[in-house]
Structure 1
């Protein structure tokens, strides 16, 4: 029995899915550890919010109660604002305005509450702050980056001039680039462009680090930027990483996929453009990059607080407005929006798609659903905040299933069956009819120009000089961003504590060496401490920072050309992998590939046929199952070569980016009401 899945089915069989988070909280609290008084108050607030939404009406008392909740918990803040906006209409506008005015007049707020009150004002078109109020808040909260950002947004929304000097003063402070760009953008929206002090900009805004981005962004603001529309236009949201930073921070295989997919989809004559958007904090690349004639990559300079666990939840509506502003300025109205995560940034894009009457496509994965229970199917003992965070994501997933026009599952029919376990909505014929199962893909048969090969060869020579003899043994390769869930630390333990270290050297590639995140730092510190404690492995284990996708594929080709008694292995050590772009790339080169049994890899990998599925729960299971397959006396060198060849064939026949992109185009056009044979 799986308690989580059983509960999901019970709620959806008997209750409105709007009540799901509260129902789960009640059951979790009844069957689990006691909660403290603050946590109990949060639960009671969620109960009140859900009941108000079910009643579908707000009065003076209810608005008072909702506003009183603001500032206590990030999730209830989000639920509260959503409830106000969902139930807002012209009849209650005056009441909402009066209640907000009372809060502001009596200064009954802290920074958290003020932020969300201003968010409501912007969304509801309530321009309530006088000039003195704005000036006071700009000065009072100048060190609160999110309040500063929302105040600039407020002035932009309601076109409030008269604060030029105050804005200039703010921009002399040591703000992140995202805030400074927002301030300059506001000045250029409120005043004639030629009146903006360029000497001030050079002194306080533009610098060596951000000049590439800043100059390209200024060109965008000064130019009537428009994209000619002939056909269907697609907007795909990424939000995690950058095409040029795959393997760094939270940028992984998705960046590789969306870059290749966008380029290939945009080649179709029926597609006008593919726009891929991300949010950037490091403004060291251009605002807009073209990947092919019609694939446009846009880096939005939106400030997010990187210190908080869920950086999107508070800024959801701000993200929606910033994307809308860019699209409006560029005269872009995407026909189809495609989102891929259960988070508040994706929810922002979903709401924007509905505001623009566009079609919404949503890639659905059971995450965090399959992390809600242990190996015995019992509910995990989660900390209260972690529980609330996961429930928020589950709630978003349920909302997106209901509101999307099309749902993509990653993989084949077996994966769809697994999805149905976590999403009882699949029993509904309407929901089931939205679903299309599409795999992911990679560039196959890719020709690489001589200049790129020569540049790579020079880097490889330098590498070989510092790591002499490393490639004189078969290699276990692992590529991807550094993270606990990616399992690189467990892989190092597995390799070093098993026969694997006798027959193979270990190469792990990934992570930002120059500006590592806290998680990357932790993983790299583990590697460093490991080598200090085990110096005998110093020349046998190498960790290299993230490399470009092209360099990785060239390196893989270099490795695979060296023949040994034992095969070169690509080992994906992730606890689970939704699909695995890096696995496909290694299979296509000819590595013997081992992937996690949890997730979507099993949709294309058959044990002993074209690779091996292993339990990647920890170092012990990785070592034990890899040894079992690698040293199996029944599998000789010829048998291994057949498995490697079968892996290559699997990718070539089923997962070329050309094939996958055709499936996506067909799906997108079907939502637009076009038929496959229309050109």
Structure 2
């Protein structure tokens, strides 16, 4: 049974936090259905007019226009509110906005309201327009900050979709790197557009920050897509966070269908992180909020999909879902770029302030690890396992990832741990290379260069993914496509395509000891693993080419838009 308008709004007044506001937004539709629009609007009016808490007043105004409710007329709204929240409310009422900006973000918002921003207008298309969001790490180079394999996949998928006759265009939505610019641009000659949505923050948003900016993201996205002729037929979100809820709100206001990719996280993460006691209460509250967010997105989506067909665990965490309600799709990769003639392997030996290989590593099997520096990726655990297992005597380890400057706290923490481990074992000097993130283009070329020059032992070079889990593993697919031998975690989605001992290996990555044992067992097989690397390459090239992967996505989008 839906909460009464009074109880619903009173919950925000008693617990005035951004996540409570986000929860309020999700519960308003049910309250309106059960108690009526008039009663809900009246309670919003009473609460907005009586509260002394400016943040609560702002959230209630935003919750109102997000659900096309108008508790205050324009003059009343001007009496109790100011700034972006007031302007969003007035804009929803069709009222002009006149104000003086107090920040670059406010100036940008007023410029859009006054049509003082020059923006492109896309030409009409006959096929459906698909919007996909990438609000976490969307503007960074893959491997920097929060940007990873999903960034690579969405770019490749968009380009593959727009080359088809049955898809009109694709719009990728990311957050602008700074609150002073708004950019809408077409990517080269393809009908793939990127919309960079500004947020009122001097730094890139992390997931816990999204709820505070939910209404702003929705407002900008709805405004920009409509203004530029990019209104979507289908919107696809992939994160269980308030950013996805903001994009889902824009989809609803624009009349688009919603697709949500569901994963066992964050339910699995919550169960594992707090098995007995509460631990960090702040972290636990946010993890619980993400669980609710995932539940809301599942409920709101016109289609829920899973990655790689792993439905059992998803159904365990989402009991309202049924197998018939899910569609299983796979991710994939674009073909590797052509060689340039420049040796990227030599870059691993170039002098640097960070560890690099030296002549003692020449001819040894390389264990390559590529990805963002993050606790879930477990680069320090990989280094520890490599050292404690004594693998530094017979192999070289190369870690590529992280920002070169302005590192996030997670990046700096992981890097510090890796460097401390590197310095703890003098005999490993020259056998470990640590490099900041490379472009995906250069990573692919490096992988192919390594695969083409196997060690004298005949054993293939190895791609060592030490993550606690991988939902799918785009970087692993790319390494397998090049011909590297893939070793990855038992947990997660790699088992959808890695058959242990046939086309790769799955190992326990829960602790340094067991990871070291798993790596050692594979490395000791030597040249006997060469056919396994070849089988892995065959698997990826036959099954995960981006054009083949794009076909079921296109079919799903066509069905929903029809």
What are the ranges of 5 or more consecutive residues in structure 2 without an aligned counterpart? 352-356
CA distance in 2, matches of 1:354, 1:308: 24
Which residues of 2 match residues 335-414 of structure 1 at below 5 A?
A: 335-374=233-272, 378=275, 381-412=278-309
Deviation at 1:80, TM superposition (A): 3.4
Match of 2:552 in 1: 663
Deviation at 1:281, TM superposition (A): 2.5
2:49 pairs with 1:101: yes
* TM-score with structure 1 setting the length: 0.74
Change (3 A) 1:92 1:524: closer
2:449 pairs with 1:550: no
CA distance in 2, matches of 1:557, 1:64: 58
Deviation at 1:433, TM superposition (A): 2.6
Deviation string 1:15-42 (CA, Å, 9 cap, x unpaired) is: xxxxxxxxxxxxxxxxxxxxxxxxxxxx
The alignment partner of 1:245 has SS state of coil
CA distance in 1, matches of 2:326, 2:503: 28
Deviation at 1:624, TM superposition (A): 1.3
Match of 2:354 in 1: none
CA distance in 2, matches of 1:390, 1:332: 34
Kept in 2, the 8 Å contact 1:372–1:380? The answer is no
Match of 2:133 in 1: 237
2:394 pairs with 1:503: yes
The alignment partner of 2:239 has SS state of coil
CA distance in 2, matches of 1:181, 1:511: 28
Name the stretch that deviates more: 511-520 or 394-403.
394-403
Match of 1:3 in 2: none
Q: Which residue of the other structure, out of 366, 369, 378, is the alignment partner of 1:478?
A: 369
CA distance in 2, matches of 1:349, 1:183: 23
Match of 2:481 in 1: 588
Name the stretch that deviates more: 256-265 or 84-93.
84-93
Which residues of 2 match residues 587-666 of structure 1 at below 5 A?
A: 587-631=480-524, 635=525, 637=527, 639-666=528-555
Change (3 A) 1:85 1:112: farther
Kept in 2, the 8 Å contact 1:510–1:547? The answer is yes
Deviation string 1:47-87 (CA, Å, 9 cap, x unpaired) is: xxxxxxx24543xx54773453252x443333235444653
Deviation string 1:513-554 (CA, Å, 9 cap, x unpaired) is: 122111111112223333343344332211111111110011
CA distance in 1, matches of 2:105, 2:289: 31
Deviation at 1:295, TM superposition (A): 1.3
Change (3 A) 1:480 1:55: closer
Deviation at 1:244, TM superposition (A): 5.5
Deviation at 1:153, TM superposition (A): 3.8
Please identify the structure whose Cα radius of gyration is greater.
1
Q: Which residue of the other structure, out of 53, 56, 59, is the alignment partner of 1:116?
A: 59
Q: Which residue of the other structure, out of 394, 409, 415, is the alignment partner of 1:518?
A: 409
Q: Which residue of the other structure, out of 311, 314, 318, is the alignment partner of 1:416?
A: 311
Match of 1:189 in 2: 113
2:217 pairs with 1:328: no
Match of 2:160 in 1: 264
Match of 1:34 in 2: none
What are the ranges of 5 or more consecutive residues in structure 1 without an aligned counterpart? 1-53, 139-147, 172-179, 194-217, 674-679
Change (3 A) 1:609 1:292: farther
CA distance in 2, matches of 1:307, 1:230: 36
Deviation at 1:403, TM superposition (A): 2.7
2:98 pairs with 1:150: no
Name the stretch that deviates more: 268-277 or 227-236.
227-236
Match of 2:118 in 1: 219
Q: Which residue of the other structure, out of 196, 210, 216, is the alignment partner of 1:312?
A: 210
Kept in 1, the 8 Å contact 2:207–2:241? The answer is no
CA distance in 1, matches of 2:478, 2:245: 31
Q: Which residue of the other structure, out of 13, 20, 42, is the alignment partner of 1:68?
A: 13
Kept in 2, the 8 Å contact 1:588–1:647? The answer is yes
The alignment partner of 2:210 has SS state of coil
More helix by share: 1
Match of 2:22 in 1: 78
Kept in 1, the 8 Å contact 2:174–2:195? The answer is yes
CA distance in 2, matches of 1:90, 1:340: 35
The alignment partner of 2:211 has SS state of coil
Kept in 2, the 8 Å contact 1:70–1:116? The answer is no
Kept in 1, the 8 Å contact 2:182–2:198? The answer is no
